[in-house]
Amino acid sequence: MDQATSLYVWDLHASVNEAELRQVFQLGLSAESLISVEAYRDHRNLSLGRAKATFGNREDAMMAMSIISSVPLIGDSFAHASVDSFPQLTNESGGHDVYVGNLSPSTTVATLHAEFGQYGFVVDARITRKEDFSYAFVKYQNPENRFRAIAYLNGKSVHGSLWIVSEVYQKKKEVRDVEIRGAVEEGRVLYASNLHYKMTERDLGNAFRQFGVVISCHLRKLQDGRSKGSGFIEYSTKEAASAAISAMHGTLVWGRAINVSLALTSS
């Protein structure tokens, strides 16, 4: 018997509601496959930028994850999703207490200190800027201060963008390492090289998505953040990975003949 599986979605635009999520999921799935969807809100009914959708089986949930990661919901904004838990923000939060999403390009670290400093002493604040979105992490000297900051700053308009402010939810690195190691041993992870240096992880995923559900993509990078021209693609099945190798090895992607093979544990 199929077991219901939940999909956890984050980095949602503040305007996205349950009805819009249902419409997006139905781009590749039947309406019957989606059991329920819930957008998370705070006490003022403002979006927390997260949602949970429950599907009739794991296969449909994995397909929905692929859809939500490749379809812009509002303008050019994309969300992220996992069937495991809420935000796999890897370990880049570094023990920080608060996650801040939907940042304006004008927002600086000084802005974060000014806004969050109203609710307690801020030990550190850091911003990560990517091609299509920016987010930040804030650390308080007293972690209890995060609750007041979230209550007052979530949904606030700063430099023209509605902030999404929430607690940091983080999957432990050891757990993710075990998952990746298992996927490599099962033949579900590919190693691609000779990639165009301007390709993003989203571009890489889109290039390989036609062969099956892509769980994650990771580009190898230099210390300054530039791509090394190689990366990893994790599929939900080894059959999808095998099909991708057969079709993509030696083909031109962004004008370069790429090399594709199964990843090794030492890669």
pLDDT band of residue 159 (cuts 50, 70, 90) is very high
What's residue 114's pLDDT?
Answer: 92
pLDDT at 160 over 70: yes
Q: Which residue, among 131, 135, 168, 133, has the nearest Cα to 149 in the 3D structure? A: 168
Residues 178-193 pLDDT 10s: 567 777 888 899 999 9
108 Cβ contact list (under 8 Å, min separation 6): 127
Give me the count of residues in the chain.
Answer: 267
pLDDT at 76 over 70: no
Check if the beta carbon of residue 206 is closer than 8 Å to that of residue 195. Answer: no
**Integer Rg of the chain from CA:** 19
Whole-angstrom distance, CA of residue 41 vs CA of residue 170: 19
Token pair 């019957």 is at which residue?
32
Check if the beta carbon of residue 2 is closer than 8 Å to that of residue 60. Answer: no
Q: What is 5-82's CATH number?
A: 3.30.70.330
Whole-angstrom distance, CA of residue 232 vs CA of residue 220: 8
The residue ranking higher by pLDDT, 47 or 103, is: 103
CATH class of 98-167: alpha beta
Tell me if 98-167 shares its fold with 173-262.
Answer: yes
The residue ranking higher by pLDDT, 1 or 135, is: 135
What's residue 266's pLDDT?
Answer: 55
Question: Please, what is the average pLDDT of the chain?
Answer: 82
Instruction: Report domain extents, the chain.
Output: 5-82, 98-167, 173-262
Whole-angstrom distance, CA of residue 262 vs CA of residue 124: 40
- Other Cβ atoms within 10 Å of 151 Cβ, number: 13
Assigned token pair, 97: 């207490």
The residue ranking higher by pLDDT, 94 or 42, is: 42
Check if the beta carbon of residue 109 is closer than 8 Å to that of residue 125. Answer: yes
What's residue 72's pLDDT?
Answer: 67
Residues 224-260 pLDDT 10s: 678 899 999 888 888 999 999 999 999 999 999 999 9
Q: Which residue, among 109, 120, 111, 113, has the nearest Cα to 151 in the 3D structure? A: 120
pLDDT band of residue 81 (cuts 50, 70, 90) is confident
pLDDT at 116 over 90: yes
Among the four given CATH numbers 3.40.50.920, 3.30.70.260, 3.30.70.330, 3.40.50.10800, the one describing domain 173-262: 3.30.70.330
